[in-house]
């Protein structure tokens, strides 16, 4: 054993109690995600990120952390999901709240990468060959190792599936110096997530309180939006935009320092962009309302067909979306409510059609792939209404909101006279008792409308 290694080993085995998270501490980490090749060598990082943690409170039984994440490359969460509050139990495992996560945009779709707390509370003194278990995880100290100029213990963390993580724990400190973690995305592709400690600071009490106050004010704003956490689509409806417009100035007053400042600025820019988007979509809706449907013909799953001629004398609902089974994303839950509407209204002569919008339908093998994906979603959600295919031409005819900064889905109700009686962009707010009530009301109004002769 070399003199340096022996010195490290002696220093590391000196008895010392680990310092638990301290209220008022602010910790910064930097990380990246890179693809592993066949030899498990990481390539160039395809996503980098910064994670900031503020210890709001801490004792022997529980620690409460506020976190902020800033992502670069390969996608990012909308601003309401870039921060949160996280409670850890006595073993520093998640107890409640929302953990930080990355949104990784792959070519085939988006993946969510959950981040573990960069903390370790070992039940035994750290020393070479020390081992312990925590749930299904097994920890084994490999030995002393310096990483980023920090003396550390290198520890292998395994599960029944094999080694998942390597962590580097600093003597006398529960914050980890570094983490390497294997993750899988897509069709079993293996990636490496790396996290490295940048700094551990203890700002003045007044400064820390200001940081916490700003993030707390943002939390209250996001709660008022009534928006599920980890919603990948960042578009707000008109009510949510009004909430942001009304509350953001008060949040701005509270967020005078710390990581909340940049989040408030991002929210302000987003509000301006979305306000412009809403105006553009309002023009699109006005242009479609009452318009006579032009001639078209579409085919889809299991021989499904629809043409403009079929619209005569019936009320028709078109739901434009991508209808893919992976990754499942909103409004996949809303198609269940659309199925409920279909079952409820079909006796009255209402026809509901899903329209799978996908540019891959123009590719040689694209139609088969889109068809399989749509069929799996149809089976998974037990949908009985037919699904049509559209490479984009039919949606363009009805008005593509993406050209105005909007996103799918689009709901179109066509009356018995062949004219558009209702046009809506985006997800409806779901009424637990009535389902998609605005859409159902529009269908009822179309049923009651007399056809002009």
Distance CA 294, CA 395 (A): 12
Q: What is the pTM of this model?
A: 0.74
By DSSP bridging, strand 63-72 and strand 137-147 are unpaired
CB-CB contact of 300 with 336 (8 Å): no
Q: pLDDT band at residue 110, thresholds of 50, 70 and 90? A: confident
Nearest Cα to 270, choosing from 430, 130, 82?
82
Q: How confident is the model at residue 15 (pLDDT cuts 50, 70, 90)?
A: very low
Taking the mean position of all CA atoms in its chain, how far away is CA 142? 35
Query: What does the pLDDT read at residue 327?
Result: 72
What would the two tokens of residue 254 be?
């509270």
- 38 vs 25: CA distance, rounded Å: 41
Average pLDDT taken over every residue of the chain: 90
Q: What is the mean pLDDT of residues 343-355?
A: 95
The predicted-structure confidence for 355-400, as pLDDT tens digits, reads as follows: 999 998 988 888 899 999 999 999 999 999 999 999 999 999 999 9
Band of the pLDDT at 413, cuts 50, 70, 90?
Answer: very high
Express each pLDDT in 72-106 by its tens digit. 999 999 999 999 999 999 999 899 999 999 999 98
| pLDDT 10s digits, 237-265 | 889 999 999 999 999 999 988 999 999 99
Residue 340 in this model has a pLDDT that exceeds 50: yes
Q: What average pLDDT does this structure show over 322-336?
A: 84
- Report the SS3 class of residue 107: coil
Judged against a pLDDT cut of 80, whether residue 11 lies above it is answered with no
Reported as a pLDDT band with limits 50, 70 and 90, residue 308 is very high
Q: Tell me which residue has tokens 């409640």.
A: 96
pLDDT at 9: 40
- Supply the pLDDT for residue 198: 98
Assess whether the previous peptide bond of 390 is cis (omega < 30° from 0). Answer: no
Number of H helices, E strands in the chain: 8, 20
Q: Which pLDDT score is estimated for 375? A: 95
Q: How far apart are CA 209 and CA 217, in angstroms?
A: 12
Structure token digits, residue 359: 């540019």
Report DSSP letters for 364-389, one per residue. TTHHHHHHHHHHHHHHHTT--S-EEE
């Amino acid at each position: 054993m070399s003199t340096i290694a022996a010195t490290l080993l002696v220093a590391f085995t000196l008895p010392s109690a680990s310092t638990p998270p301290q209220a008022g501490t602010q910790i910064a980490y930097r990380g990246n995600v890179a693809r592993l090749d066949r030899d498990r060598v990481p390539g160039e990082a395809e996503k980098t990120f910064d994670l900031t943690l503020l210890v709001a409170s801490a004792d022997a039984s529980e620690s409460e952390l506020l976190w902020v994440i800033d992502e670069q490359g390969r996608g990012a969460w909308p601003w309401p999901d870039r921060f949160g509050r996280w409670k850890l139990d006595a073993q520093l495992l998640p107890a409640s709240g929302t953990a930080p996560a990355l949104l990784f945009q792959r070519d085939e779709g988006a993946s969510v990468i959950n981040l573990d707390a960069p903390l370790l509370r070992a039940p035994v003194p750290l020393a070479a060959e020390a081992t312990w278990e925590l749930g299904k995880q097994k920890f084994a100290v490999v030995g002393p190792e310096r990483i980023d100029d920090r003396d550390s213990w290198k520890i292998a963390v395994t599960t029944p599936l094999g080694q998942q993580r390597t962590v580097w724990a600093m003597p006398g400190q529960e914050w980890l110096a570094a983490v390497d973690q294997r993750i899988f995305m897509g069709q079993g592709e293996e990636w490496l997530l790396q996290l490295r400690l940048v700094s551990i600071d203890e700002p003045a009490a007044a400064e820390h309180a200001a940081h916490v106050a700003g993030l707390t004010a943002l939390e209250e704003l996001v709660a008022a939006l009534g928006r599920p956490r980890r919603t990948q689509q960042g578009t707000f409806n008109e009510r949510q935009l009004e909430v942001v417009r009304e509350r953001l100035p008060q949040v701005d007053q509270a967020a005078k320092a710390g990581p909340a400042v940049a989040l408030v600025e991002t929210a302000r820019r987003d509000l301006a962009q979305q306000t412009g988007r809403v105006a553009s979509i309002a023009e699109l809706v006005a242009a479609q309302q009452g318009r006579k449907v032009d001639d078209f013909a579409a085919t889809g799953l299991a021989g499904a067909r629809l043409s403009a001629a079929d619209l005569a004398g019936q009320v028709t609902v078109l739901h434009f979306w991508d209808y893919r089974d992976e990754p499942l994303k909103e409004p996949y839950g809303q198609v269940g409510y659309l199925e409920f509407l279909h079952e409820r209204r079909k006796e009255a002569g209402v026809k509901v059609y899903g329209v799978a919008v996908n540019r891959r339908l123009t590719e040689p093998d694209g139609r088969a792939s889109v068809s399989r994906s749509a069929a799996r979603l149809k089976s998974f959600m037990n949908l009985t209404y037919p699904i049509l295919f559209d490479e984009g031409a039919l949606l363009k005819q009805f008005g593509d909101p993406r050209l105005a900064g909007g996103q799918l889905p689009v709901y179109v109700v066509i009356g018995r006279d062949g004219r558009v009686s209702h046009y809506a962009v985006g997800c409806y707010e779901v009424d637990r008792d009535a389902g998609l009530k605005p859409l159902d009301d529009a269908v009822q109004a179309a049923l009651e409308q007399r056809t002009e002769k």
